[in-house]
């Protein structure tokens, strides 16, 4: 079609596009005049309707003592979503897809994205200080891993150091005048400082303070010293450390539930062990602080040792693991006793050794044609806690050169929930560090050379061959399988180790096919209200509360994740003003990012905490997704979640001209608008009186003839 544009002017033209398939679609627009032409191409990403469901399975291919191995994996999706004689369907057509990845070491891939962070590794938002510190830590650990294994890459190192500097500067925005770190930036939301967080930040920054790295990233030692000095102010006379606020990660509050008969106030064994690990890391600080650190560390050691009976009798596995690691790290007299207590809490099953509060099911499988097909794992009751406890235990076992380290490594790799990580930030950072220490102590990676042949039922007649060698050992290689269903056969030959993973995603629009949490922990009720011309505004009201009171009186840091329809946005400044108003208790941050609105709460308790916000149409989109997801979860224990579908029928039913999405819509007010006529009130009343009088005379005339 043709449009007229005046000189030095511009025109906006809406061209409706109807995608015919899912995935990335490239749209090219051509424009030409009598004297020239131009074109532009943009990528349009099309997603399936419904609620995404994720399934993951991971297995360690061990060719250290054999020449070849076979692995059978089940996608666990039917070829068709149709359920015979029923209206419902298993999943949304075309939404089923899978990816198979392999990497030639037990740690995982080196920089699958640049940089790596909580979003790229774990698909979690990252707006708090701990989440930013986690992103800093995993980039640093990856650089250290490259250094330990002689896999230097100048391009990757240059980019990684750039993002380390960016992350360090961002972390300083959470720094308080007294040297502590707050969970959120406190310039307008009064976020409280945290002993747990400040100790963690000091430890990670100290680990990044290498002399040979100073030309690439310089960590101010004053920042570390002031953070440590602030932490030392929160040590009791007995030697324990206490928190100033409700900790975001409930694992470090667990010892508050110990038997009150022990009669010790402000007891927190896990936090004290956590701080002790930091004190051991920063023991070489100058400026006269080293002596204070030594005294505080000795008091903490003595306090932990005095409470060893309590740890052995009442302590959870996580408490025992972190205490054993802290005492081993600092070479305390009772480190051996703590190790014995830790080893008693181990579980050996199916050749896998792990440390958990409860028994963890073995990797699921089912037999078909006399072959064991590995099934995707579901969320377990204490995923994040079990993973982090086992990571601490692995570091203890590696340091002591114990015999069962290989079995622990195998279990950790079966617990992966994503290609690059585990459940949340805390457990992923410790698991990654533990595996780096393990692989640095082993030399089998030096002889890793594998060929891996992959065949999938949904790709008949096709096979993919991947190679793992010294040149690509830590590089993530993956194969995409669209319309995934059936089984996958893997034939690995050679020598060495490799992590084989398969991630499956499909969407559902029926509640009964959603993944259910292992423990009901949250109530979630979300409503939406449409208003404005052609449903141009949507107000969301979401109420959520913590219900798992047998586990704790409150959740940890909770996140509400609301998916909004395509084409709608909410202004970030409106969300910031909502936070500043302090209308919602415990609400610390709200963030809009790519069709999602995230709300961060310090915690949720047994009382409803409700938020409301309004989104407005920014781009004309019609016939959009009908079912959208709303999810609330504990950030540091994502297995505690509640997820629901909301039906956006009002926006789904709109056609392209309802939203003025085409220049050819004949009755759209954008293209056929008239100038508004302003009429004085007196004139309007007078005209109404005249019309009424004429109508009365007409009725009299009509009655006369009747």
Residue 153: pLDDT band (50, 70, 90) is: confident
Under a CB-based contact definition with an 8 Å cutoff, are residues 367 and 375 in contact? Answer: no
pLDDT of residue 260: 45
Indicate if 471 and 544 belong to the same structural domain. Answer: no
Does residue 115 have a cis peptide bond before it, meaning omega lies within 30 degrees of 0?
yes
Distance of alpha carbon 129 from alpha carbon 180, whole angstroms: 11
Indicate if 633 and 545 belong to the same structural domain. Answer: yes
Tell me the average pLDDT across 137-155: 91
> Residue 383's domain is classified under what CATH number?
2.60.120.1540
Last residue of a domain, one of 319, 344, 369: 344
Indicate if 66 and 199 belong to the same structural domain. Answer: no
Distance of alpha carbon 581 from alpha carbon 629, whole angstroms: 27
Point out which residues pair with 496 in neighbouring strands.
63
Q: Which residues make Cβ contacts (< 8 Å) with residue 465, sequence separation at least 6?
A: 451, 452, 453, 454
Under a CB-based contact definition with an 8 Å cutoff, are residues 208 and 136 in contact? Answer: yes
Cβ density class 666-694: b for 16+ within 10 Å, e for less: eebeeeeeeeeeeeeeeeeeeeeeeeeee
Q: Which residue has the higher pLDDT, 258 or 579?
A: 579
Is the residue at 113 inside a domain? yes
**Is the pLDDT assigned to residue 679 strictly greater than 80?**
no
Indicate if 495 and 353 belong to the same structural domain. Answer: yes
Distance of alpha carbon 423 from alpha carbon 636, whole angstroms: 8
Tell me the average pLDDT across 617-641: 93
Name the 3-class secondary structure at 42.
strand
* Beta-strand runs (E) in 461-608: 463-468, 477-482, 487-508, 522-531, 537-546, 558-563, 568-569, 587-593, 596-601
Please name which of 241, 225, 248 lies closest in space to residue 276, comparing C-alpha atoms.
Answer: 241
Is the residue at 668 inside a domain? no
Is the residue at 308 inside a domain? yes
Q: Which pLDDT tens digit goes with each residue over 274-332?
A: 999 999 999 877 767 889 999 999 999 999 999 999 899 888 999 999 999 999 999 99
Last residue of a domain, one of 652, 677, 700: 652
**Torsion from C-alpha of 206, 211, 216, 221, nearest 10 degrees:** 40
Q: HSE of 455 in the Cβ direction (CA atoms, 13 Å)?
A: 9
Q: Which pLDDT tens digit goes with each residue over 522-554?
A: 999 999 999 887 889 999 999 999 999 999 999
pLDDT of residue 669: 58
Is the residue at 34 inside a domain? no
Indicate the average pLDDT of the chain. Answer: 90
Indicate if 331 and 467 belong to the same structural domain. Answer: no
Is the residue at 701 inside a domain? no
- 3-state SS, 231-274, equals HHCCECCCCCECCCCCCCCHHHHHHHHCCHHHCCCCCCHHHHHH
Under a CB-based contact definition with an 8 Å cutoff, are residues 43 and 19 in contact? Answer: no
Residue 497, domain extent: 52-126+346-515
Indicate if 199 and 305 belong to the same structural domain. Answer: yes
> Residue 197's domain is classified under what CATH number?
1.50.10.20
Is the residue at 489 inside a domain? yes
Indicate if 558 and 618 belong to the same structural domain. Answer: yes
- Main-chain phi, psi angles of 363, to 5 degrees: -50, 120
Indicate if 387 and 454 belong to the same structural domain. Answer: yes
Name the 3-class secondary structure at 189.
coil
Name the 3-class secondary structure at 571.
coil
Indicate if 360 and 477 belong to the same structural domain. Answer: yes
E strand or H helix at 405, and its extent?
Answer: helix 405-414
Name the 3-class secondary structure at 627.
strand
Distance of alpha carbon 191 from alpha carbon 130, whole angstroms: 13
Indicate if 303 and 357 belong to the same structural domain. Answer: no
**Is the pLDDT assigned to residue 701 strictly greater than 70?**
no
**Torsion from C-alpha of 599, 601, 606, 609, nearest 10 degrees:** -50
Is the residue at 185 inside a domain? no
Point out which residues pair with 53 in neighbouring strands.
506
**Is the pLDDT assigned to residue 249 strictly greater than 80?**
yes
E strand or H helix at 450, and its extent?
Answer: strand 449-456
Show the DSSP H helices in 592-678 as ranges: 649-652
Indicate if 507 and 361 belong to the same structural domain. Answer: yes
> Residue 530's domain is classified under what CATH number?
2.60.40.690
Question: Looking up tokens 């667990």, which residue turns up?
Answer: 254
Last residue of a domain, one of 487, 515, 543: 515
Domain count, the chain: 3
Q: How far is CA 419 from the centre of its chain?
A: 13
Is the residue at 633 inside a domain? yes
**Is the pLDDT assigned to residue 259 strictly greater than 70?**
no
Residue 188: pLDDT band (50, 70, 90) is: low
Indicate if 539 and 626 belong to the same structural domain. Answer: yes
């Amino acid at each position: 079609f043709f449009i007229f544009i005046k000189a030095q002017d511009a025109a906006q033209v809406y061209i409706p596009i109807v995608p015919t398939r899912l995935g990335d679609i490239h749209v090219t627009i051509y424009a030409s005049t009598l004297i020239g032409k131009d074109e532009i191409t943009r990528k349009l990403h099309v997603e399936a309707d419904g609620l995404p469901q994720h399934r993951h399975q991971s297995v360690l291919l061990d060719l250290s003592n054999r020449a070849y191995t076979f692995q059978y994996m089940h996608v666990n999706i039917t070829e068709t979503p149709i359920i015979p004689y029923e209206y419902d369907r298993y999943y949304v057509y075309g939404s089923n897809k899978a990816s198979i990845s392999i990497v030639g070491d037990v740690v995982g891939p080196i920089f699958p994205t640049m940089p790596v962070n909580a979003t790229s590794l774990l698909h979690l938002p990252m707006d708090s200080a701990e989440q930013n510190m986690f992103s800093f830590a995993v980039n640093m650990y990856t650089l250290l891993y490259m250094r330990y294994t002689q896999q230097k890459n100048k391009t990757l190192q240059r980019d990684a150091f750039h993002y380390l500097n960016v992350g360090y500067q961002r972390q300083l925005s959470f720094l308080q005048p007294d040297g502590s770190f707050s969970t959120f930036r406190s310039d307008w939301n009064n976020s409280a400082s945290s002993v747990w967080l400040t100790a963690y930040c000091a430890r990670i920054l100290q680990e990044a303070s290498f002399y040979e790295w100073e030309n690439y990233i310089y960590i101010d030692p004053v920042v570390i010293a002031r953070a440590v000095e602030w932490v030392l102010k929160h040590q009791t006379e007995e030697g324990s450390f206490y928190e100033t606020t409700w900790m975001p990660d409930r694992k470090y509050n667990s010892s508050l539930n110990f038997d009150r008969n022990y009669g010790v106030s402000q007891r927190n064994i896990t936090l004290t062990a956590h701080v002790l690990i930091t004190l051991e890391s920063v023991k070489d600080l100058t400026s006269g602080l080293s002596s204070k650190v030594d005294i505080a560390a000795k008091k903490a050691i003595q306090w932990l040792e005095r409470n060893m009976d309590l740890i052995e009798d009442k302590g959870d596995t996580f408490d025992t693991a972190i205490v054993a690691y802290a005492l081993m790290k600092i070479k305390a007299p009772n480190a051996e006793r703590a190790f014995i207590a830790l080893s008693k809490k181990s579980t050996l099953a199916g050749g896998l050794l792990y440390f958990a509060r409860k028994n963890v099911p073995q990797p699921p499988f089912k037999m078909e044609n006399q072959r064991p097909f590995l099934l995707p794992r579901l969320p377990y009751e204490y995923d994040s806690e079990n993973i982090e406890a086992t990571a601490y235990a692995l570091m203890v076992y590696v340091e002591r050169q114990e015999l069962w380290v290989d079995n622990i490594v195998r279990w950790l790799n079966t617990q992966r929930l994503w290609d690059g990580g585990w459940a949340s930030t805390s457990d992923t950072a410790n698991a990654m560090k533990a595996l780096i220490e393990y692989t640095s102590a082993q030399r089998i990676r030096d002889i890793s050379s594998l060929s891996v042949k992959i065949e999938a039922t949904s790709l008949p007649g096709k096979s993919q061959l991947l190679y793992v060698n010294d040149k690509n050992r830590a590089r993530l290689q993956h194969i995409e399988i669209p319309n995934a269903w059936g089984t996958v056969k893997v034939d690995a030959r050679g020598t060495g180790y490799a992590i084989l993973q398969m991630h499956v995603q499909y969407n559902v629009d029926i509640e009964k096919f959603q993944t259910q949490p292992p423990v009901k922990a949250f109530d979630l009720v979300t409503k939406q209200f449409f208003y404005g011309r052609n449903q141009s505004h949507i107000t969301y009201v979401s109420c959520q509360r913590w219900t798992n009171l047998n586990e704790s009186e409150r959740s940890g840091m909770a996140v509400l994740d609301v998916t909004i329809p395509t084409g709608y946005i909410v202004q970030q400044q409106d969300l910031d003003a909502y936070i500043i108003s302090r209308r919602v208790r415990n609400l610390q941050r709200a963030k809009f990012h790519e069709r999602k609105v995230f709300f961060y709460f310090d915690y949720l308790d047994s009382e409803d905490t409700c938020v409301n916000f309004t989104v407005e149409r920014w781009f004309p989109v019609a016939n959009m997704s009908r079912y959208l997801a709303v999810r609330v979860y504990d950030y540091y224990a994502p297995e505690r979640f509640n997820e629901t579908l909301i039906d956006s029928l009002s926006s789904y039913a709109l056609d392209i001209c309802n939203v003025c999405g085409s220049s050819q819509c004949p009755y759209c007010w954008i293209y056929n608008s008239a100038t508004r006529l302003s009429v004085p009130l007196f004139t309007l009343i007078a005209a109404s009186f005249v019309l009424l009088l004429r109508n009365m005379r007409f009725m009299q005339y009509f009655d006369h003839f009747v």
